[in-house]
């Protein structure tokens, strides 16, 4: 009996040791492997950029409505060897304004057609695997708070990044850059208001943490209403209407990316603010479930708002090169007008792209070759974004 017990004990200890080794290996290797695989930049030769395009690019104010590097365990103050955006590469791309968006829930098997809100959540596993604080393992709100803390820490370490929380902050960044200073403006956004966990008070908490762009949905229906990729195709709930009203009444930006058509209809009916669809394409260029119908995009534009053009296959019909994005920009200008187009890369949002943020001059070159004027390019690359930010944040 004694020998049997010893044998059983050794087996148990061996299994425990294997489990510990497995967890350590998972923590050490899996997150970086997944992050690199999910945010690949396809191999390509350097994109040629002519002198005229480079000169134009160097004087642009460039802004991007959507990127997700806060989701991954990377030091954004250092140039990464994977992924698509960090502070050094923003500088190389001459980016003045970057929205950093917090992803807090993403259903397993996510697709653009239909997802259940009850599906296994990939971000829970990612939070555990990346050794985020335990408070984030079970709380979407705390995941958003933690990602804001990360950005504040990165900005403080870098010393040349301002987290924009007001119109005065925006004006200061733009003035510093105009004076030749090395300054990036960072803006915090949430990708889906499920991070509020159904509590209006959590909106106050996220605003306090620095969030200024509020996206209503991600890949599933939530307490605010129906997602573009959900199951019920519903409009705004009572809670959703309360949140939309609260966002509209404050110096915040309302983002309709991933919201279902009926939600967009309801928001249009109850607000009179410039609205944003932060990262998308246009159906006139690429008809797909991910892109809202053209008539709704026109109505968003009529609010004085903008749509941000994404760089990945599902919104471009696999035309992800600079030339493909420029062709989409031409189609978007034809549909919505030059005052309503921006950039919304979705960099580091589990998408494969043909360039990273350091290579944005290639997009300027492609837009010139596509026939867009310098004035139109100035608006698309950042001018329209600045206008909406000033309208909503003040200044």
| H helices present in the chain, as ranges | 2-38, 51-59, 87-92, 122-129, 140-158, 167-178, 200-208, 238-249, 261-270, 294-302, 313-316, 322-336, 361-369, 374-378, 384-393
Task: Give the pLDDT score at 187.
Answer: 98
Give the DSSP letter string of 308-353.
EEP-SHHHHTS--SHHHHHHHHHHHHHHH-GGGEEE---BTSS--B
CA distance 187 to 385: 12
Task: Give the pLDDT score at 9.
Answer: 47
2-38 helix and 122-129 helix, angle to the nearest 10 degrees: 110
Name the residue with tokens 């050094």: 88
Terminal Cα-to-Cα distance of the chain (whole angstroms): 81
| H helices present in 211-285, as ranges | 238-249, 261-270
CA distance 264 to 301: 12
* Phi–psi pair at 80, nearest 5 degrees: -80, 155
Q: Is the Cβ–Cβ distance between 241 and 126 less than 8 Å?
A: no
Task: Give the pLDDT score at 12.
Answer: 55
Short-list 130, 45, 40, CA closest to 82: 40
Task: Give the pLDDT score at 5.
Answer: 47
Q: What is the mean pLDDT of each run of 10 residues along the chain (395 residues)?
A: 54 45 44 76 97 98 98 97 97 98 94 92 96 97 98 98 98 98 98 98 98 97 97 96 98 98 98 98 96 97 98 97 98 98 97 98 98 98 98 88
Task: Give the pLDDT score at 90.
Answer: 98
CA distance 236 to 186: 30
Could you give the C-alpha distances from 369 to 245, 326, 372, in angstroms and in order?
A: 43, 9, 7
Burial 56-81 (b: 16+ CB within 10 A, else e): bbeebbbbbbbbbbbbbebebbeebe
């Amino acid at each position: 009996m004694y020998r049997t017990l010893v044998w059983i004990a050794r087996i148990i200890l061996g299994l425990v040791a294997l489990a510990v080794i497995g967890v350590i290996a998972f923590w050490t290797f899996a997150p970086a492997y997944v992050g690199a695989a999910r945010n690949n930049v396809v191999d390509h030769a350097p994109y040629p950029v002519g002198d005229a395009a480079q000169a134009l690019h160097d004087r642009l104010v460039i802004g991007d409505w959507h990127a997700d590097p806060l989701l991954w365990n990377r030091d954004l103050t250092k140039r990464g060897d994977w992924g698509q955006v960090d502070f050094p590469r923003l500088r190389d791309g001459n980016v003045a304004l970057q929205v950093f968006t917090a992803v807090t829930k993403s259903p397993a098997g996510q697709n653009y057609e239909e997802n259940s809100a009850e599906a296994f959540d990939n971000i829970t596993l990612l939070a555990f695997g990346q050794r985020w604080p335990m408070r984030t393992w079970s709380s979407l709100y705390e995941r958003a708070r933690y990602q804001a803390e990360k950005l504040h820490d990165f900005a403080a370490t870098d010393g040349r990044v301002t987290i924009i929380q007001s119109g005065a902050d925006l004006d200061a960044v733009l003035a510093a850059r105009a004076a030749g200073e090395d300054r990036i403006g960072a803006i915090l956004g949430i990708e889906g208001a499920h991070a509020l966990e159904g509590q209006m008070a959590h909106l106050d908490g996220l605003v306090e943490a620095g969030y200024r762009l509020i996206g209503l949905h991600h890949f599933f229906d939530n307490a605010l209403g129906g997602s573009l990729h959900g199951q019920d195709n519903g409009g705004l709930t009572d809670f959703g209407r309360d949140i939309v009203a609260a966002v509209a009444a404050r110096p915040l930006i309302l983002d309709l990316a991933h919201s279902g058509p009926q939600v967009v209809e309801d928001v249009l009916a109850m607000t009179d603010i410039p609205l944003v669809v932060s990262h998308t394409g246009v159906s006139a260029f690429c008809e797909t479930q991910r892109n809202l119908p053209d008539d709704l995009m026109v109505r968003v534009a009529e609010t004085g708002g903008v749509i941000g053009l994404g760089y990945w296959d599902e919104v471009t019909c696999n035309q992800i090169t600079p030339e493909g994005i420029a062709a989409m920009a031409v189609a978007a200008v034809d549909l919505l007008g030059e005052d309503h187009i921006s950039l919304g890369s979705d960099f580091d949002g589990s998408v494969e792209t043909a360039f990273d943020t350091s290579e944005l001059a290639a997009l300027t070159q492609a837009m010139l070759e596509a026939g867009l004027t310098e004035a139109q390019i100035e608006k698309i690359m950042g001018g329209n974004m600045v206008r909406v930010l000033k309208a909503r944040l003040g200044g």
